[in-house]
Amino acid sequence: MRNAVEHLKFTKPMEPERFDNPPAGAEWSHEIKFDGYRTQVIKDADGIRLYTKGGIDWTAKYRPLAAEAGKLNAESFIIEGETIVLNEKGLSDFHALRSAITRRPQDLYLVAFDLLHLNGHDLRDMPLKDRREVLQALVPAGGRIQFSEALPGTGDAVYHLACEANHEGIVSKRLDSVYRSGPTTIWRKIKCFDEKVMEIIGVQRERGKPAMVLMADKGRYMGGAFVTFKADKRQALWDRVQGKVGAPPPKGLKKQKAEWLKPGLSGRVRFLKGEETLRHAMLRDFWEDDDGRG
């Protein structure tokens, strides 16, 4: 065993890969995917330090969390978690997080989900289930550092409940998984989808590529959504598009290879939650604004 009070280094995170559906089977556990900043907390002979996912020291930005981490009953540790801020509905809010870090750091929470090191012991070769049992015993209830509970039930059921409750998604992990830095498929993130009405401002139709509509939300360019309609509905869309082609490229979008449209065409888009722009987006319906739909 190494000396309990030692000098510990930042460990490159283990990163779940994205899947469309949660895994089945009792060998998986499922946690809420919080919408925040991945954070690693280290306590050693040099005190408390908090690092970003990329290994940048953000202790000064996270001072209240650093103070809370200092109260945990251990000589040394490396804890993995997610720094979040909650909105009025009690959900993690990524957009509010940025201003909270600079203006209201006392509102930050750390949701702790893994323990890589404790009191001179490297725990990364222990199964996830055992690491989390030790972590749960280390983190007291009711503070600004909270333990990320696994939710009971099948992956499908947990995913459905998480999306119904308006969370960003879930993270599914093999209970027997050891900790290894970098991307992995034995941890999986499954994001929820959202739907919203936006303006259709352009189309991209290139031979050999999937057709896309380009969308804007209240004048802000959001990105593209795939068009997957059957032939008759797709033709109806192109008919409406044809009457609106000829608008100048929106500011900053001249390099996009697109046919730009005059205002008046809207659509309902399905897209991944928790993203700044449209990702894995699909056009679900469309109409001209004078149709009276919305």
**Which residue segments constitute the domains of the chain, with CATH numbers given?**
15-33+149-191 (3.30.1490.70), 35-147 (3.30.470.30), 193-291 (2.40.50.140)
Instruction: Provide the CA 24 distance to its chain's centre, in angstroms.
Output: 21
pLDDT one digit per residue (tens) for the chain, 294 residues: 444 467 999 999 999 999 989 999 999 999 999 989 999 999 999 999 999 999 999 999 999 999 999 999 999 999 999 999 998 888 898 889 989 999 999 999 999 999 999 999 999 999 999 999 999 999 999 999 999 999 999 999 999 999 999 898 999 999 999 999 999 999 999 999 989 999 999 999 888 888 999 999 998 999 999 999 999 999 999 999 998 998 888 887 877 788 999 999 999 999 988 777 898 899 999 999 875 454
Task: Determine the Cα–Cα distance for residues 192 and 96; give it in Å rounded to an integer.
Answer: 20
* The predicted structure's pLDDT at residue 203: 94
6-25 CB burial, b ≥16 within 10 A, e <16: eebeebebbebeeeeebbee
Question: CB-based contacts of 101: which residues, under 8 Å, 6+ apart?
Answer: 61, 62, 108
233 is catalytic: no
- Predicted TM-score (pTM) of the model is 0.78
Q: Is 139 helix (H, G, I), strand (E, B) or coil?
A: coil
Of 33, 173, 191, 244, the active-site residue reads 33
Cα angle 217, 201, 270 (rounded to 5 degrees) comes to: 55
* The predicted structure's pLDDT at residue 89: 85
Instruction: Provide the CA 145 distance to its chain's centre, in angstroms.
Output: 19
E strands, 91-132, are 109-118, 121-122
